[in-house]
Amino acid sequence: MKHIICALALVACGITAQAQQKKGKELFKHVVIIGIDGLSVEGLLKADAPVMHKMIAEGAFKKDARTVLPSSSSSNWSAQILGAGPEITGVTSNDWKPDAKHMTPVAVNSVGRSPSIYDIIRQQRPQAEQGVVFHWDDYGRLLQKDMVNHYEYAKTESEAASKFSEYLLAKKPTFALLHLDHVDHAGHEDGHMTPKYLQSIVKADSLIGTVLASIEKAGMKDNTLVMIVADHGGIKKGHGGESDEEINIPVIYYGKGVKKGYKIQQPVYQYDVAATVAFLFNLEVPYSWTSRPVKAAFEG
């Protein structure tokens, strides 16, 4: 019976994965995700953010991608890497902890957690370099530390971007994620769309420019896909509800091979991040994922 249970876990996790591997080569050698906590569509478009605005003009943009509910950080950041919403992953709120009793995930890996994009890369590309630098300390609990080569917390947004840039230059990772939390702080403290909130987006834009410069300096520019994502928007001084301001979020796809100045028309969901990364690396994905790759953003 024990062997049967183990076999079922492997199937669910993606060792025996959904037959979605694409013929041919990977589309990019590197994928870099920059997650900006609390970045709203309105805030992005109104703020003086020349770097991101250039990425929109030269890349593909979805201005109203949809969060999962609740529109809280843990449920949405986890959906991005776990390829499904909270009803499947069990990450239903910011109270979620990996060692506490919560709703059982639909599918689990060898340690009882929902299979993540980090799992999939590690299984199918054992030698791939993966790393994450995060500014919100609770972000770290959403992924398995042993699935990545580099796992680092930073106390400030500037420190996070600096450490991430150093990592890119040193390791040229296959898959890397940077999380910035200061925009969400401004939304909670002063309110969304206030001058302080918009100024926090200006700061994020500057930090993104630093990261892009590091990608170029590392010699990765021509074969790297950069994604700008958010976990939720906000209204007044909060989020977690169902208003358009909270559940609609921007997504930017930027790099050689991305359609230039393209406005994505089809629905895009928070959990589509995981399958898009898998698609770009020509990987199979777990059957339990509801995630779909956003193929429309790319040429060919």
**pLDDT tens across 139-196, in order?**
999 999 999 999 999 999 999 999 999 999 999 999 999 999 999 999 999 999 999 9
Q: Are 226 and 215 in contact (CB under 8 A)?
A: yes
**Strand 60-66 to 150-153 pairing:** unpaired
Could you state, in order of their start, the residue ranges of all structural domains in the chain? 2-297
In degrees and rounded to multiples of 5, residue 13 shows phi and psi of: -70, -25
Whether 269 shows a pLDDT value over 80: the answer reads yes
pLDDT reading at 264 higher than 60: yes
Please answer whether residues 175 and 181 qualify as being in contact, where contact means their C-beta atoms are separated by less than 8 angstroms: no
State in Å, rounded, how far the first CA of the chain is from the last one.
47
Q: Cis omega before residue 70 (within 30°)?
A: yes
pLDDT tens, residue by residue, 190-199: 999 999 999 9
Q: Alpha carbon of 88 to those of 79, 177, 273: distances in Å?
A: 9, 23, 16
Global pTM value: 0.92
Angle between helix 272-280 and helix 73-82 axes, rounded to 10 deg: 30
**CATH number belonging to domain 2-297:** 3.40.720.10
- Going from the C-alpha of 197 to that of each of 179, 180, 233, 238, the distances in angstroms are 17, 14, 12, 12
Cα–Cα dist 164/242, whole Å: 33
pLDDT band at 295 (very low <50, low <70, confident <90, very high): very high
Q: Which two tokens stand for residue 249?
A: 């979020």
Residue 34 near residue 211 (C-beta atoms within 8 A):
yes
